[in-house]
């Protein structure tokens, strides 16, 4: 969760950890440079544990403090050169009474149009307007703005929240929206404006899909760093390859029911969201929010744990939607079997089935240096099956669909 705040004050630790929703407050202007600099120090990145102190800055890891200092100096230089604050929206989700909103604040040159921002098209798969495809490295050439105040209008309710250390918003807010897809308006104090789509899931919905991205819906050959860097930073996004049959599998599972939530969960960086969003739209994947992470130093170390990120997001989904049993879809090239097995053990009533896409010989070698799944992955699949949860495998979406039909797995 992020450190989204209301008004000019920051929420308490108890409110933050419990996901307390923000009351309506009048919009406050962007703080002065000195105040903004202090805000930058206090904010934290999404997904990182907050230090157990009333002064988080004093407990930040040295790497995080160095990164914050560098970011502040870069932002100061760019502001003096006339760069302005922009908003990049991401798709979110919610239920009657609340929504979870995602966005990011960054600086861009005045000549850069909104459609040319690195994050343009991040919510394309959720129905938002798309943008021209670019090479992936451009999505990482950003200057985030920490501690920016953003007004969020959700239906007839208005909230004021604050971006975290990485310039991200990940906040749960009170809402009066009915089930279905809606647009949430975001506005910064200097006039920047954006619209973030959110999917409000009705209380009658009992099933959903959580899908991994890398090597599950798109061939990325992770985590081999050089191959991943080539695919993400250099190769044109239009050249990315879909995993055959996966879009059709999801379409058959949903069976034309747009109320069923689909969530794309990955350890990839939010910077890659535009390319992933446009990819999902281009190849006909169902609409749904992405739950990504923020690479770089955390409050407590140099890097965050991708496995902990996935487990934490799965746990939160079960808390946010206690009535939903999820079909978990991943691959056997990384840690998806272990993560899904842990989710099944912790909350078996919230897992309807586990679908594992089997990587090819070459993909396994690229993924972890072995020509077959690691033994811990095989044992994890067996543990999930012992919970009475179907664990189905297939080389692609077509094989998985045949396995789903044979096992009689359906979404209510």
Angle (CA) 261 324 403, round 5°: 75
Contact status, residue 393 vs residue 240, Cβ threshold 8 Å: no
Per-residue pLDDT at 189: 81
Q: How confident is the model over 370-399, as pLDDT tens digits?
A: 544 555 666 666 666 667 899 999 999 999
Alpha carbon distance, N-terminus to C-terminus of the chain: 30
Task: Please give the Cα distance from 250 to 326 (Å, whole number).
Answer: 13
Highest mean pLDDT: which range of 114-128, 157-171, 236-250: 157-171
Q: Which two tokens stand for residue 281?
A: 């739209």
Half-sphere exposure of 100 (CA within 13 A, CB side): 22
Task: Return the domain boundaries, the chain.
Answer: 13-200, 207-407
Residue 279 burial (CB < 10 Å; 0-12/13-18/19+)? buried
DSSP state string for 254-287: HTT-TTS-EEEEEEEEGGGHHHHHHHHHHTTPPP
3-state secondary structure 284-302: CCCCCCEEEECCCCCCCCC
The percentage of the chain sitting over the pLDDT mark of 70, rounded to a whole number, equals: 61
State yes or no: pLDDT of 297 exceeds 50. Answer: no
Stronger pLDDT, 288 or 412, i.e. the higher one: 288
Stronger pLDDT, 42 or 227, i.e. the higher one: 227
DSSP state string for 81-105: TT-EEEEEEEEEEEETTEEEEEEEE
Q: Which two tokens stand for residue 182?
A: 């809606």
State yes or no: pLDDT of 26 exceeds 70. Answer: no
Contact status, residue 44 vs residue 50, Cβ threshold 8 Å: yes
Stronger pLDDT, 325 or 142, i.e. the higher one: 325
Per-residue pLDDT at 406: 96
Task: Please give the Cα distance from 64 to 304 (Å, whole number).
Answer: 12
Neighbours of 397 (CB within 10 A): 25
CA torsion angle 136 118 163 149 (round to 10): 180
Contact status, residue 184 vs residue 168, Cβ threshold 8 Å: no
Q: Which two tokens stand for residue 84?
A: 């302005």
Angle between helices 336-346 and 306-320 (to 10 degrees): 40
State yes or no: pLDDT of 246 exceeds 70. Answer: yes
Among 75-84, 158-167, 352-361, 379-388, the least confident range: 379-388
Contact status, residue 133 vs residue 274, Cβ threshold 8 Å: no
Contact status, residue 255 vs residue 318, Cβ threshold 8 Å: no
Per-residue pLDDT at 43: 33
Angle (CA) 241 126 161, round 5°: 120
Evaluate the omega torsion of the peptide bond into residue 223 and state whether it is cis, within 30 degrees of 0: yes
Per-residue pLDDT at 172: 97
CATH architecture of 207-407: 3-Layer(aba) Sandwich (3.40)
């Amino acid at each position: 969760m992020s450190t989204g705040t209301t008004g000019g004050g920051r929420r308490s630790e108890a409110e933050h950890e419990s996901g307390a929703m923000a009351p309506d407050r009048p919009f406050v202007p962007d703080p002065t440079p000195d105040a903004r600099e202090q805000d930058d120090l206090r904010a934290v990145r999404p997904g990182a544990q907050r230090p157990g102190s009333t002064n988080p800055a004093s407990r930040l890891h040295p790497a995080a403090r160095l990164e914050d200092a560098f970011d502040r100096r870069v932002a100061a230089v760019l502001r003096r050169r006339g760069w302005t604050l922009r908003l990049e929206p991401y798709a979110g989700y919610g239920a009657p009474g609340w929504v979870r909103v995602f966005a990011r604040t960054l600086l861009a040159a005045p000549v850069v149009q909104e459609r040319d921002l690195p994050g343009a098209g991040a919510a394309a798969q959720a129905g938002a307007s798309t943008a021209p495809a670019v090479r992936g490295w451009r999505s990482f050439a950003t200057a985030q703005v920490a501690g920016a105040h953003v007004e969020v209008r959700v239906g007839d309710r208005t909230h004021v929240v604050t971006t975290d250390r990485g310039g991200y918003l990940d906040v749960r807010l009170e809402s009066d929206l009915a089930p279905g897809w809606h647009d949430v308006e975001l506005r910064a104090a200097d006039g920047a404006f954006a619209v973030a789509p959110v999917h409000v899931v009705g209380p009658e919905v009992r099933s959903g899909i959580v899908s991994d991205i890398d090597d599950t819906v798109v061939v990325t050959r992770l985590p081999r760093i050089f191959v991943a860097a080539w695919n993400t930073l250099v190769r044109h996004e239009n050249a990315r390859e879909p995993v055959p049959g996966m879009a059709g599998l999801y379409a058959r599972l949903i069976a034309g029911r747009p109320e069923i939530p689909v969530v794309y969960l990955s350890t990839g960086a939010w910077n890659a969201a535009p390319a992933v969003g446009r990819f999902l739209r281009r190849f006909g994947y169902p609409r749904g929010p992405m739950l990504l992470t923020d690479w770089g130093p955390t409050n407590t170390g140099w890097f965050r744990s991708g496995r902990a990120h996935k487990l934490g997001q799965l746990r939160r989904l079960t808390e946010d939607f206690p009535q939903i049993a999820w079909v978990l879809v991943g691959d056997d090239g990384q840690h998806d079997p272990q993560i899904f097995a842990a989710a099944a053990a912790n909350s078996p009533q919230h897992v309807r089935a586990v679908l594992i896409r089997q990587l090819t010989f070459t993909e396994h070698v690229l993924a972890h240096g072995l020509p077959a799944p690691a033994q811990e992955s095989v044992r994890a699949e067996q543990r999930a099956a012992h919970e009475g949860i179907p664990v189905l495998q297939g080389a692609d979406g077509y094989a998985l669909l045949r396995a789903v039909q044979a096992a009689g797995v359906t979404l209510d």
